[in-house]
Amino acid sequence: MINKNERSEREVRVRFWLLRGLIVVAVVVLLAQLWQLQIVQGQRYQKQAEGNRLRLRFVPASRGIIYDRNGGLLTRNHPSFTVSVVPADLPDEGEDELILQLANWLQMAPSDIGERIQEGWLRAPYQPTIIKSNVPRDTAFIIQERQHQWPGVWVEIEPIREYPDGAHTAHQVGYVGRVPSERADEYTALGYDLNDLVGLTGIELTYEQALRGIKGSKIVEVNSMEREIRTVPDTEVQPRPGQNVYLTLDTELQRQIEQVLAQGIEDSGARSGVAVVMNVQTGEILASVSLPNYDNNLFSGGITVEDYQRLQENQERPLVNHAISGQYPPGSTIKIVFGPAALQEGVVRSNTHIFCAGTMSVPDKYTPGKFWTFYCWNPLGHHEVNFLTAISLSCDVYFYTVGGGAEGFPNPLGLAGLERYAGLFGLGDRTGISLPGESVGLVPNEAWKLAQPWNEQGEPWVTGDTYNMAIGQGFVLVTPLQLLNAAVAVANGGTLYKPQIVHHITDADGNISQPFRREIIRQIPIDEGNLALVRQGMREGVIWGTAHRVGLPQIEVAAKTGTAEYGIPDEKGTKPTHAWMVAFAPYEKPEIAAVVFLESGGGGSQNAGPVMRNVIATYYGYLGHLPSVPAPAATPLPEE
């Protein structure tokens, strides 16, 4: 029989072995867990630990500089302060108070900051999300001093774009801004961060890939407050600066022509205006002015809502480059296109005479006994007109006849001929200039007319449509640059160039990576002799015709006027008009060509003529040596 002492001793031994067994099991479990952590999943946890203290930081590349043809600065990278937030590093408690304090210092609505932080969470929680750029220096320092209290808040120096020439070249240079949200996927696929600055208009946009450069990177170690402690050795990749773009523009010429055009707009009461000068042998744009313009510095660091609304609500559309985007009826300037076409097709010869009585009556083929009357700009008529006088006096009846036919001229150019030659001279198609937003213009035909919503009755193309098209009225539309390019082709003997706004590109060390090359669109199939007759007619237009206001004593200029009706007639039946002029100089050996356009500017002779005179005088350095108006002629000269 087991006594009480033996039973107690036995129970102690059992409990001891049970405890010992439990300890062994616990040790085995612990060792297994250590094996799992250290051996099986060791690399994973090591990477996580490294990730908690290591950060990949990108180093922005310096954006390339844009210069004018003489090396004048058109852009500059100016350091500024940017306040950003890393959403994942914000404190779990006190975030709302932090946002309120940030909003107070940055003068922003707390809701706006909250929205940006939320966007950052969704996009890249461990990367900085910009809250505000171009922060004042004192404010940036105050926030930086509080960074130890505000984990996740960063103050960084970021270059912003400055435009020393401002509004003078804004339409050509453009401006930069953050990646547009609607194109986020496109830019991300190209390696951009959504906080990056990218070109949004002008050369900044079209040459974005050359200007942007290549970012650098580094891996840094951070502390618990997300402050950088050190850069991990051998992880730095240096950024590569962007390339530099040299434009064909001469900014001094640009400023002077802007003044000339502004005076012309004021004198004529025009709504807006364009003046462009091009080298006729290369297609280089030497000056291109569209007024009103805007200051692209407004967009540096983010434009205010008030400033943007003011620009958007301006009826003269200062944000639009009217030289390439505006589409207008060309009026009689189109005769420099259809004139040589008529000669080339044998519709007329240089000595072919057409009588102009001031009007032209055409029977309505659908209504017997009914006639349509078409008017020359000169109600008294030009009487007997040959080709040269038709150009120099801008006779509409002559071009009605060669375009749409008349008694004795059964084989005119017709719609097909007008359409073909307009296309050969580049009308109805983009010129291809390296600027965004270029319009295509309009060279109409019957299919186009039948497809228009306003033509509900399905009215076909009629002879009257052809007559109007032949004098640059009706449906035809051009941009000022298209018309200038056609004039350049007339001046140089038939070569249609692609207009060039960029001369060359260099790398950061000044080595040319893209030299200037002339680009020929086509050689227009018109005999040189026929183009020479047009040039002669344009020269006579300056000597004694409608372009006489362009005459300069120091240089021989050839020019063609245009007055284009548009819009709704007034109570007297008179429509408002645009004023046009194209010209080239010198006459014998053309060097430059220019176009002047005044929207709602009245007559081409009276209002565009003096502006063109001053544009050419400016180019040749004669402007300061000219009388304010040409000396009066002994006999009155025609005014279109």
Q: What does the DSSP assignment read for 22-59?
A: HHHHHHHHHHHHHHIIIIISHHHHHHHHHHHHEEEEEE
pLDDT tier, 45 (very low <50, low <70, confident <90, very high otherwise): very low
Q: What is the pLDDT of residue 29?
A: 64
What mean pLDDT is predicted for residues 302-319? Answer: 88
Q: What is the pLDDT of residue 134?
A: 80
47: pLDDT strictly greater than 60: no
Give the span between the Cα atoms of 320 and 169, in whole angstroms.
Answer: 13
Q: What is the pLDDT of residue 28?
A: 66
Mean pLDDT, the chain, whole residue set: 87
Q: What percent of the chain has pLDDT over 70?
A: 89
Residues 135-194 have pLDDT tens digits of 888 887 887 777 777 777 878 888 889 999 999 999 999 999 988 888 888 988 888 888
Q: What is the pLDDT of residue 168?
A: 96
Query: Considering only 24-28, 577-581, 633-637, which range has the smallest mean pLDDT?
Result: 633-637
Give the span between the Cα atoms of 564 and 126, in whole angstroms.
Answer: 60
Residues 327-369 have pLDDT tens digits of 999 999 999 999 999 999 999 999 999 999 999 988 877 778 7
Give the span between the Cα atoms of 566 and 576, in whole angstroms.
Answer: 6
235: pLDDT strictly greater than 80: no
16: pLDDT strictly greater than 70: no
Distance of CA 70 to CAs 61, 169, 428, 504, 575, Å? 25, 14, 34, 12, 44
Q: What is the pLDDT of residue 284?
A: 97
Residues 29-39 have pLDDT tens digits of 666 666 665 56
End-to-end Cα spacing for the chain:
142
Residues 515-542 have pLDDT tens digits of 999 999 999 999 999 999 999 999 999 9
Q: What is the pLDDT of residue 368?
A: 80
Sort strands 176-178 and 383-385 into parallel, antiparallel or unpaired: unpaired
Is 387 within 8 Å of 343 (Cβ atoms)?
yes
Sign of CA dihedral 389, 393, 398, 402: positive
- Pick left, alpha or beta for residue 353 (phi over 0 → left; psi -120 to 50 → alpha; otherwise beta): beta
Is 462 within 8 Å of 474 (Cβ atoms)?
no
Distance of CA 332 to CAs 88, 314, 336, 349, 390, Å? 66, 30, 8, 20, 11
Q: What is the pLDDT of residue 49?
A: 46
Total-model pTM:
0.85
Q: What percent of the chain has pLDDT over 90?
A: 58
Q: What is the pLDDT of residue 607?
A: 95
Query: Considering only 148-157, 296-305, 594-603, which range has the smallest mean pLDDT?
Result: 148-157
Query: Considering only 18-22, 254-258, 558-562, which range has the smallest mean pLDDT?
Result: 18-22
Q: What is the pLDDT of residue 302?
A: 79
17: pLDDT strictly greater than 70: no
Q: Which residue has the higher pLDDT, 102 or 604?
A: 604
Q: What is the pLDDT of residue 616?
A: 96
**Is the omega angle on the peptide bond into residue 586 within 30 degrees of 0, that is, cis?**
yes
What mean pLDDT is predicted for residues 266-272? Answer: 95
Residues 609-618 have pLDDT tens digits of 999 999 999 9
Q: What is the pLDDT of residue 637?
A: 73
Give the span between the Cα atoms of 291 and 275, in whole angstroms.
Answer: 9
Residue among 497, 414, 508 at smallest CA distance from 462: 414
Q: Which residue has the higher pLDDT, 622 or 516?
A: 516
Within 10 Å of residue 78's Cβ, how many Cβ atoms? 12
629: pLDDT strictly greater than 60: no
Give the span between the Cα atoms of 361 and 370, in whole angstroms.
Answer: 10
Q: What is the pLDDT of residue 35?
A: 63
Q: What is the pLDDT of residue 225?
A: 58
What mean pLDDT is predicted for residues 511-518? Answer: 94
Give the span between the Cα atoms of 599 and 119, in whole angstroms.
Answer: 45
User: Which domains, from first to last, does the chain contain?
Assistant: 46-75+163-247 (3.90.1310.10), 252-625 (3.40.710.10)
pLDDT tier, 21 (very low <50, low <70, confident <90, very high otherwise): low
Distance of CA 419 to CAs 12, 19, 84, 430, Å? 114, 104, 57, 16
Q: What is the pLDDT of residue 48?
A: 45
Q: Which residues, in sequence order, are CB contacts of 88 under 8 Å at separation 6+?
A: 121, 125, 126, 152
Q: What is the pLDDT of residue 14?
A: 62
* 3-state SS record for 454-479: CCCCCCCCCHHHHHHHHCCCCCCEEC
Is 177 within 8 Å of 200 (Cβ atoms)?
yes
pLDDT tier, 26 (very low <50, low <70, confident <90, very high otherwise): low
Give the span between the Cα atoms of 161 and 170, in whole angstroms.
Answer: 13
Q: What is the pLDDT of residue 52?
A: 54
Q: What dihedral angle (degrees, nearest 10) is formed by the CA atoms of 125, 126, 132, 134?
A: -160
The residue count for the chain:
640
Encoded tokens for 339? 């004139």
Q: Which residue has the higher pLDDT, 323 or 381?
A: 323
Is 577 within 8 Å of 564 (Cβ atoms)?
yes
What mean pLDDT is predicted for residues 315-334? Answer: 95
- Hey, which residues does 372 pair with through a beta bridge? 362
62: pLDDT strictly greater than 50: yes
Q: What is the pLDDT of residue 233?
A: 76
Which residue has tokens 């108006």? 629
Query: Considering only 34-38, 412-416, 436-440, 572-576, which range has the smallest mean pLDDT?
Result: 34-38
400: pLDDT strictly greater than 90: yes
Radius of gyration of the chain (CA): 36
